[in-house]
């Protein structure tokens, strides 16, 4: 790699995984036509291409393994809107480089740059009432790009109610490796059993067979290619980590806001009681005969060590805005609820208070946010935990450059939640590691972050993750729930699927990318010289 290239474009060789790659050149297209031109040339020369957006991913999908980078950050416009008046549904069309944080602002303020919008889009905008709509896919990292969110099928805290990115994507334009384009609309191109046929904009037919493997029966899964008989073929490209084509345009459907949106942070005396609370919230059990009917949009978890880390960081100015965490707080569950009226919400919250007390918690120590200002404070608390972990890793990395972030992204079926929690805790304790657990417990999806103090602990952590992947797969779980496979989880995927099943994925990729130039090393193991 040219030293000048690294000096000028070094930041584009890494992402939030803390992995660093290499490349020879980079392009920043502003239009789909420029992507097409770039891919045609790279395809003709058989030069590997890595696509990337804001590079906020944690699985190293955006880290290049040689060749050419296509960075989509300059394709950052919302390009149109659509309104279904009959069903009261609102849609936006946007380029892949639009940042989630910007999109939220545009929607909240109805502040779109409508330059270049067609008449239909301008007409649709008249029906967009302020405060009525929002984009419900809410990954923790708000600086993520929409193309990246689609590529890894990202989700977030509110996925408990609203699902993942896939559930809100209604259209895609995908530039294939040879420069041809697929225009995909949800409901318009379904597989016939395990066979599919797609027509490109040049009129070329792409035919193939879907793999035979079955996806796990879990609430969240981004482990390899989406695959179901009779599936909508748009879903194959969502969550494909940029290995089948480069997304040049996305249509998303917005969700309607609820009149009442409250946040509740509940502190429990131990982990077992916290799990019982989760089961009660999911209406799997009754506590003290109380039938909860909260219908939460988010159910999040923070371990004892996660709260300890936050307490330590609270002393610094960067995290002084989060509410004070008392030493008596052991484990936390964060719940977000939506309701039609305040009275309705209060009725259910009062019942929740009785459940908390019955489980040994203290209703009086519960944080309740019933307005936007206080709710934002609870969001800051929720987001502070991964930020603190990243800061710890950055400090350690100064004396141990080889250390990168070690975080799980696995999910299990509902009946395996307690089992997987025991597995995580025992693994951390037996190996004498420092581990912080937080995440989307309502979906049986926890992020376990190992903070290694030296290279020995780093290697021990990696071995432990591989063992966990094997055990999670045996439980019927998924080795990646929301971050995609990328490059870091390729070994995990081998624990979940057989060699033949992974070869099925390879054969599917070759249908769309015969020369295997797109995002090499992602999903499939990279071998030097191939």
Tens-digit pLDDT profile for residues 316-338: 655 667 778 888 899 999 999 99
> What confidence category does residue 50 fall into, taking pLDDT thresholds of 50, 70 and 90?
very high
How far does the chain reach from its first CA to its final CA, in angstroms?
18
Quick one: average pLDDT of 17-21?
86
What integer pLDDT is reported at residue 324 of this predicted model?
80
DSSP line for 313-373: HTTSGGGTTSPP--TT--EEEEEEEEES-HHHHHHHHHHHHHHHHHTT--GGG-EEE-SHH
pLDDT over 90 (residue 359): yes
Examine the pLDDT at 41 and tell me if it is beyond 90: yes
Question: For 423-436, how does the pLDDT look when each residue is reduced to its tens digit (9 = 90+)?
Answer: 999 999 999 999 99
Is residue 471 over pLDDT 70? yes
Structure tokens at 288: 């003290």
Q: Which tens digit of pLDDT belongs to each residue from 290-316?
A: 999 898 999 999 999 999 988 887 766
Give the least confident one: 34-43, 160-169, 290-299, 462-471: 290-299
Quick one: tokens of 266? 């509940």
Q: 172, 31 in Cβ contact below 8 A?
A: no
Enter the pTM of the model: 0.93
489-528: b (≥16 Cβ within 10 Å) or e: bbebbbbbbeeebbebbeebbeebbeebbbbbbbbbeeee
pLDDT tens column, 82-138: 999 999 999 999 999 999 999 999 999 999 999 999 999 999 999 999 999 999 998
Beta-carbon-side half-sphere exposure of residue 88 (alpha carbons within 13 Å): 6
pLDDT at 402: 83
| Neighbour tally for 471: CB within 10 Å | 17
Handedness of CA 504, 506, 14, 27 (dihedral sign): negative
In the three-class reduction of DSSP (H, G, I as helix; E, B as strand; rest coil), residue 457 is classed as: helix
What does the pLDDT average to over 238-267? 96
Where do the DSSP E strands lie in 28-120? 49-52, 68-71, 78-84, 89-94
pLDDT of residue 311: 86
Q: Find residue 169's DSSP bridge partners.
A: 252
Among 469, 439, 290, which Cα is nearest to 363's?
Answer: 290
Residue 55: left if φ>0, alpha if ψ -120 to 50, beta else—which one? left
Give CA separation, 277 vs 60, 285, 418, in Å: 35, 9, 12
- C-alpha–C-alpha distance, residues 128 and 121, integer Å: 11
| 3 state SS of 512 | helix
CB-count burial class (<10 Å; 0-12, 13-18, 19+) for 154: buried
- Residue 73, by phi and psi: left (phi above 0), alpha (psi -120 to 50) or beta? alpha
Q: Specify the pLDDT at position 19.
A: 85
Give the pLDDT of residue 434: 93
Residue 135, φ and ψ in degrees, nearest 5: -95, 115
The per-residue pLDDT for 138 is: 83
Residue with token string 């904009």: 201
Cα gap 136→158, rounded to integer Å: 7
Q: How, if at all, do strands 169-175 and 181-185 pair?
A: antiparallel
Confidence at residue 342, expressed as pLDDT on a 0 to 100 scale: 94
**Are the C-beta atoms of residues 27 and 165 closer than 8 Å to each other?**
no
Q: What is the pLDDT of residue 1?
A: 53
Task: Output the pLDDT for position 528.
Answer: 63
List domains and CATH numbers for the chain.
1-256+489-519 (3.30.465.10), 260-474 (3.40.462.10)
Q: What is the pLDDT of residue 366?
A: 94
Instruction: Look at residue 64 in the predicted model and tell me its pLDDT.
Output: 96
- Residue 194 pLDDT more than 90? yes
Average pLDDT over residues 61-87: 97
pLDDT band with cut points at 50, 70 and 90 for residue 2: low
C-alpha to C-alpha distance for 27 and 8, rounded to whole angstroms = 13
Q: Which residue has the higher pLDDT, 248 or 386?
A: 248
Give per-residue pLDDT as tens, 133-160. Answer: 999 998 888 899 999 999 999 998 899 9
- Check residue 58 and give its pLDDT: 86
Mean pLDDT across the chain: 93
Lowest mean pLDDT among 192-196, 259-263, 414-418, 526-530: 526-530
Q: How far is CA 111 from CA 78, 117, 434, in A?
A: 11, 14, 45
| pLDDT(524) > 80 | yes
With a CB cutoff of 8 Å and minimum separation 6, the contacts of 364 are: none
Residue 318's pLDDT is 55
Q: Please compute the mean of the pLDDT values over residues 184-210 and round it to a whole number.
A: 97
């Amino acid at each position: 790699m040219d030293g000048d290239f690294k000096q000028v474009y070094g930041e584009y060789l890494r992402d939030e995984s803390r992995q660093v790659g290499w490349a020879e050149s980079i392009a920043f297209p502003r239009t789909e036509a420029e992507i097409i031109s770039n891919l045609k040339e790279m395809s003709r020369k058989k030069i590997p291409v890595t696509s990337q957006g804001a590079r906020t991913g944690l699985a190293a999908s955006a880290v290049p393994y040689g060749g050419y980078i296509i960075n989509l950050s300059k394709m950052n416009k919302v390009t149109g809107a659509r309104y279904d008046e009959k069903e009261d549904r609102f849609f936006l069309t946007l380029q892949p480089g639009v940042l989630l944080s910007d999109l939220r602002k545009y929607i909240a303020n109805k502040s779109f740059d409508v330059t270049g919008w067609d008449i239909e889009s301008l007409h649709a905008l008249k029906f967009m009432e302020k405060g009525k709509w929002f984009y419900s896919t809410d990954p923790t990292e708000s600086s993520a790009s929409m193309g990246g969110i689609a590529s890894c099928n990202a989700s977030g805290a509110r996925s408990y109610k609203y699902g993942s990115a896939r559930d809100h994507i209604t259209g895609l334009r995908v530039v294939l490796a040879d420069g041809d384009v697929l225009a995909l609309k949800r409901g318009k191109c379904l597989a016939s059993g395990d066979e599919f046929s797609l027509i490109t904009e040049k009129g070329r037919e792409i035919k193939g067979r879907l793999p035979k493997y079955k996806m796990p029966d879990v609430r969240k899964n981004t482990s390899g290619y989406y695959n179901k008989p009779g599936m909508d073929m748009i879903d194959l490209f969502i969550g494909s980590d940029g290995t089948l084509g480069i997304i040049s345009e996305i249509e998303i459907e917005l969700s309607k806001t609820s009149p009442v949106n409250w946040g509740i942070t509940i502190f429990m005396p131990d982990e077992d009681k916290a799990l019982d609370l989760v089961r009660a919230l999911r209406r799997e059990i009754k506590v003290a005969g109380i039938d909860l009917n909260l219908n939460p949009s988010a159910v999040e978890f923070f371990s004892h060590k996660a709260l300890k880390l936050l307490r330590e960081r609270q002393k610094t100015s960067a995290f002084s805005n989060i509410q004070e965490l008392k030493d008596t707080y052991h484990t936390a569950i964060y719940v977000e609820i939506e309701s039609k009226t305040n009275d309705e919400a209060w009725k259910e919250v009062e019942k929740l208070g009785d459940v908390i007390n019955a489980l040994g918690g203290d209703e009086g120590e519960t944080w309740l946010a019933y307005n936007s200002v206080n709710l934002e404070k609870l969001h800051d608390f929720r987001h502070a935990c991964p930020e603190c972990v990243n800061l710890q890793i950055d400090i350690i990395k100064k004396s141990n450059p080889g250390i990168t972030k070690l975080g799980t992204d696995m999910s299990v079926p509902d009946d395996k939640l307690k089992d997987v929690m025991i597995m995580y805790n025992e693994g951390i304790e037996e190996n004498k590691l420092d581990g912080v657990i937080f995440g989307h417990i309502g979906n049986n999806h926890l992020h376990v972050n190992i903070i290694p103090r030296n290279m020995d602990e780093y290697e021990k952590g990696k071995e432990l993750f591989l063992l966990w992947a094997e055990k999670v797969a045996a439980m019927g779980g998924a080795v990646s729930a929301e971050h995609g496979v990328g490059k870091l989880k390729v070994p995990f995927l081998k624990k979940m699927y057989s060699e033949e099943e992974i070869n099925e994925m390879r054969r599917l990729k070759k249908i769309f990318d015969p020369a295997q130039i797109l995002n090499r090393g992602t999903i499939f193991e990279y071998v030097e010289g191939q």
